[in-house]
Structure 1
Amino acid sequence: MTMIGTRGGMMIFPLVISAGLWLGGLREAFLLMAMLVLLVGWLPSLILRRRPEDVGLRPDGRRSSTRVSAAESGSLLTSDPDWTVREAMRTRAFWLLLFGTTILMAVSGSVNFTFVSHMTQNGIDADTARSALALWAGMGIIGGVLGGELRQRLAVRYSLPLVILVTTSALVWFVLTDSVWMAFVFAVWHGLAFGAQLPLNRISFPDYFGRYSVGRIRSVTAPPQLLINAFGPFVSGLVIDSRGSYDLIYVVFIGLLLSAAVSVLLARPPEAPARRSPPASS
């Protein structure tokens, strides 16, 4: 459900930019975006909490007042272990997940960056491309919900590779997209898949190493992920400029996505270390 905000923003902003360009140009577009950010940017501080215990809840809706049997309590502790960074880095699953999720972020950032330009180069007008981008982001809202539901039925080890394969097939379609109807089919297809992969990507490390460890493990995994995510569009742009075509870089993206799917699939959940007492709720 948290993906609704990010996907909703990505759906609204292309329309805001189009409105700003219609009103006068880039200056007006940036002013409209700034006004929108100022209008809604303060709202999360009123409603966000760090973890369920802060509002008297437990994960998956379990209330703190609910009586839990000794056997069930032991099961809950085992299912949500507390890893140190050093313990996690000694496991094969950590490196396979890091590779898979980092490649996924790099490709996703590059595809999103070249979304409109690829369509316009293939003969689709800019307004239609921006409308397709807005539809793509809107479908991501639905995809985010579907991704969360998929995780309820399949472990991340299986659900994330499955969604990556759907994303890859959509990217093959995108390479061939040269008409308006194909652009909107891609927006629906890739939007659903990309939206589904976001929550699965987010929960991959907590799913393997427990939610109590997510902060310290993310301090190690986030830097390479964000660095590659930032350089992905830059490198893609260089390749596109040198060849005058998107075909080569998208073939590379397809290969990278397939390798990411295999990497996550090979990441077997490691055996949890001896359980330490979880942090007390504040």
Structure 2
Amino acid sequence: MLFLAKKLQRILPFYYGWVVVAASGSAVFARMAPNITTLTIFILPLSQQFGWSRTLISGSVSAGALAALVLSPAVGWAIDRFGARPVLVISVLILGLAMTSMAWATVPLTFYLAFAAARVVFHTSAPIGASTVSARWFIKKRGRAIGAIFLCGAIGGLVFTMLSAQMIEHFSMKTAWLSIGFVVFVVSLAPTLLLVVERPEDMGLLPDYERPNESPSEGDETTPQPNISMSLAENDSWTLTEAMRTKAFWILFFMGMVMFCVNTGTNVHIGAFYRDQGLSLTIAAVAISFSWLVSAFGSVGWGWVLEKIEARHAYSMVFVILGVSTMYLLTVDGTAGALVAAALIGSVSSGSNVIISIMYANYYGRNSLGRIRGVSETGVLLGQATGPLLAGILFDSRGSYTFVFLLFAGIALACSMIVLKAKTPVRPVSMNTGLNSGTLSEGQTQN
């Protein structure tokens, strides 16, 4: 596979890292097949055809989060140990098979097993693998690279939401599940298998655009030397143990938990909420799909913003938007209101994905990023497991989403202040013994 990559690098007029971003981004596209906005299209048809409650259906999201919670550290270890490419390829295979098998999941047990398997890929291997390998190819342009990856995810969310709605409305749920599985295989399997390369150093390159194997021009003393650059790349990274000793790690851990508790808890039920408000299935799908359109542009926009301002300030902005959007849902009673809410929700979805990925990479470097993300993702998973189930229980007990949305909005606004405490960690001198005097690690900033 490396032979093909090197051949493409000689032919292409741009840096091969962008090919890696596109190839790994295809897995993030496929990852959106079992996304909550896809499931929300199925909630009403599933409850009508099989008599399942909304709590039972939304519980499948929690089951997937709990399964991923157990596997996430192992996935992070596998990415660092074996590489992102094999993990992404296996993930696409599992995801495609799981989504296809949903066509025959007619009892809760088989539904939970298939959907939980797909959600493990959604939560862990696809986003962690794609963002980790891209972060290894870019430092200066990391914001744009990670933003492009989640742009692919936003496009996937749009495609799978509309595909689900159209297949259900014009054919059947079984056709919808089979169509989703087919798209996963077609779009993502070949790119992840053939085009993903673990590190730029494997191709004689350096992060962003450097080529260490180029001969320096005569008298040019500024051309980077490969041995120096490679040494810095190895020393710019924190280990998992070092990262877990910092306050920033645990703030990000718990903020990720809250962000996805509120965001996932709201989004799992938003399709059913729109239907309760009198919107048709098609209008509900359009509104949800519009949120993915906003998320697509937002992914690139947030990536650009993160190259201009501190990530913790951007994260605080996302929490504010999350709180405002959740309260605003209580006023939605028509198409226009649903589209405004969708725009706010799309901005939150793109911002949370991009910012979290970039903060961990910027704070803790490249080498152990898979392990660090694998552990930190357990906080996100706890939130995603709790939010939908809590929202479902409160709805079933109260008969409306009013209390749920008010509770979630208050939590989000409080966290907009707390996340500002997640300042860039500075490594103690004892951790930097391998660095030359005056050299800054990738996880540090100049004051």
TM-score band, normalised by shorter chain: 0.7 to 0.9
- Matches of 2:335 and 2:172, distance apart in 1: 25
1:93-122 CA distances to partner (integer Å, 9 max, x unpaired)?
111111111211222221221121111112
Paired residue total: 276
Q: Counterpart in 2 of 1:20?
A: 167
Asked if residue 256 in structure 1 is aligned to residue 411 in structure 2, the reply is yes
Scaled by the length of structure 1, the TM-score of the pair is: 0.88
1:167 pairs with 2:315: no
Counterparts in 2 of 1:211 and 1:256: CA distance versus 1, 3 Å: farther
SS in 2 for 1:212: coil
Matched, 1:68 2:220: no
Q: Is the 8 A contact 2:259 2:383 kept in 1?
A: no
Describe how 1:47-196 pairs up with structure 2 within 5 A: 47-65=195-213, 67-68=223-224, 77=232, 81-196=236-351
Q: Counterparts of 1:177 and 1:51 in 2: how far apart (Å)?
A: 47
Instruction: Output aligned runs, 1:178-217, within 5 Å.
Output: 178-217=333-372
Residue by residue over 1:199-236, the C-alpha shift from the partner in whole angstroms, topping out at 9 and shown as x without a partner, is 11112222211222312212321223223312321121
Which residue of 1 is the match for residue 65 of structure 2? none
Q: What is the CA–CA distance in structure 1 between the aligned matches of 2:178 and 2:237, rounded to whole Å?
A: 45
Aligned twin of 1:34: 181
Post-superposition offset of 1:3: 0.8
CA distance in 1, matches of 2:319, 2:206: 30
Structure 1 residues not aligned, in runs of 5+: none
Alpha-carbon offset, residue 144 of structure 1: 0.3
> Once the 2 structures are TM-superposed, how far is the Cα of residue 129 of structure 1 from its aligned partner?
0.6
- What is the distance in 2 between the residues matched to 1:86 and 1:117? 43
Q: Cα deviations across residues 150-193 of structure 1 (Å, max 9, x unaligned)?
A: 10001212111122222322222222111111111222232133
Q: One-letter code of the match for 1:197?
A: S
Q: In 1, distance between residues paired with 2:267 and 2:204? A: 39
In the TM superposition, residue 275 of structure 1 has moved relative to its aligned partner by 5.3
- CA positional deviation for 1:11: 0.1
Runs of 4+ off more than 4 Å:
275-278
CA gap 1:119/1:151 in 2 versus in 1, 3 angstroms: same
1:45 aligns with 2:180: no
Contact in 1 for aligned 2:287/2:342 (Cα 8 Å): yes
In structure 2, distance between residues paired with 1:2 and 1:239: 35
Pair 83,14 (structure 1): closer, same or farther in 2 beyond 3 Å: same
Letter in 2 for 1:184: L
Distance 1:127 1:115 in 2: 14
Change (3 A) 1:54 1:240: farther
Assess if the C-alpha contact under 8 Å between 2:294 and 2:343 holds in 1.
yes
State the structure with more CA Rg: 2
Gaps of 5+ in 2: 1-147, 215-222, 436-440, 442-447
- Residues 233-276 of structure 1, C-alpha deviations (whole Å, 9 max, x = no match): 11211111111111111112112222332232111222123154
Q: Is the 8 A contact 1:107 1:253 kept in 2?
A: yes
Supply the distance in 1 between the matched residues of 2:301 and 2:251 (Cα, whole angstroms).
24
Q: Distance in 1 between matches of 2:156 and 2:341?
A: 19
Structure 2 counterpart of 1:201, one-letter code: I
Please give the alpha-carbon distance, in whole angstroms, between the structure 2 residues aligned to 1:193 and 1:58: 33
Residue 432 of structure 2 corresponds to 274
Structure-2-length-normalised TM-score: 0.57
Asked if 1 retains the 8 angstrom alpha-carbon contact of 2:256 and 2:379, the reply is no
Indicate conservation of the 8 Å contact 1:206/1:213, yes or no.
no
SS at 2:243 equivalent: helix
Shift of 1:77: 4.3
Q: 1:134-156 CA deviation, whole Å, 9 max, x = no partner?
A: 11112111000011001000121
Secondary structure at the residue paired with 2:208? helix
Query: Does the 8 A contact of 1:101 with 1:260 survive in 2?
Result: no
Q: Is the 8 A contact 2:212 2:224 kept in 1?
A: no
Q: Tell me if the contact between 1:58 and 1:64 (Cα under 8 Å) persists in the aligned partners.
A: yes
Give the aligned partner of residue 50 of structure 2: none
